[in-house]
Amino acid sequence: MFEFGIKDFVDIFCVALMLYYIYRLMKESRSLNVFIGIMVFIVVWLFVSQILEMRLLGSIMDKLVSVGVIAIIILFQEEIRKFLYNLGAHRRVNGIIRLFVSGDNKDKVDMESIMPVVMACMNMGKARIGALIVIERISSLDDIVETGDIIDANINQRLIENIFFKNSPLHDGAMVISKKRIRAAGCILPVSHSIDIPKELGLRHRAAMGISQDSDAIAIVVSEETGRISVAIKGQFHLRLSAEQLESILTRELDF
């Protein structure tokens, strides 16, 4: 006799939740058709092997499934990486991680580190100078730093403005700030392909969204067209910020 208990309900709910999350992930990465194709293949495989019990065709599909798992890992390595990152970046998980993080990473961010960034962004916004500044938090950005030119200087308003000046050779890339120092400039960031990003936002904004999705970094964007300041955090945009709002966000998010 078939019995349906609480454990079966929880099992079905967990599978449904997992499929829904994978569906959202595939939709954001424009791989939805591939996901649907995989689901159709799994349904056909279960129907052939479990219901119709067709041994020959079922055994062939079994082999394809065993090889297909490796193919899926290779094909969706970026999506799997993003899923694992989101899992590790969960607020409760981060709280546990911070218990074991060394004291150097727990330093309180003072206003001497924040205000030069805020003032530089405001001045660049008024002058319509485009800028992209990435501030490292817990996730390491060493791979991003390696794509640019090492600066390793104190956070300075004039230095930031000079780096992003239109005639500067480093103005097109991103600046990376880590441990209260400007580590590098002219860095290359991963570009987000999310369809939810407003069309009026340019490549700098997509790069800011990309790094905020791949890490816990804070990405500040100054639009060259409008002079408006935006911040990308954890895959979310905060648009049209004033100096006070930018200062408030940085103070809150960087205060470990």
Q: Of 180, 238, 182, which is closest to residue 208 (Cα–Cα)?
A: 238
Helix/strand/coil for 22: helix
Structural domains of the chain, ranges and CATH numbers in brackets: 6-88 (no CATH), 104-253 (3.40.1700.10)
Q: What is the pLDDT of residues 125-166, one digit of tens each?
A: 999 999 999 999 888 898 899 999 999 999 999 999 999 998
Give every CB contact of residue 63 below 8 A, 6+ residues apart in sequence. Answer: none
Phi-psi region of 30 (alpha: psi -120 to 50; beta: other; left: phi over 0): left
| Helix locations, the chain, DSSP H | 6-28, 32-46, 55-75, 77-88, 91-98, 111-126, 142-145, 157-163, 203-214, 243-253
The span from the CA of 58 to the CA of 66, in Å, is 12
The overall average pLDDT reported for the chain is 81
From residue 251, give the alpha-carbon distance in Å to each of 94, 109, 112.
18, 7, 11
Q: Which residue stretches of the chain have pLDDT < 50?
A: 91-92, 101-109, 256
pLDDT of residue 256: 41
pLDDT of residue 105: 43
pLDDT of residue 102: 47
pLDDT of residue 157: 94
Q: Which two tokens stand for residue 221?
A: 């964007």
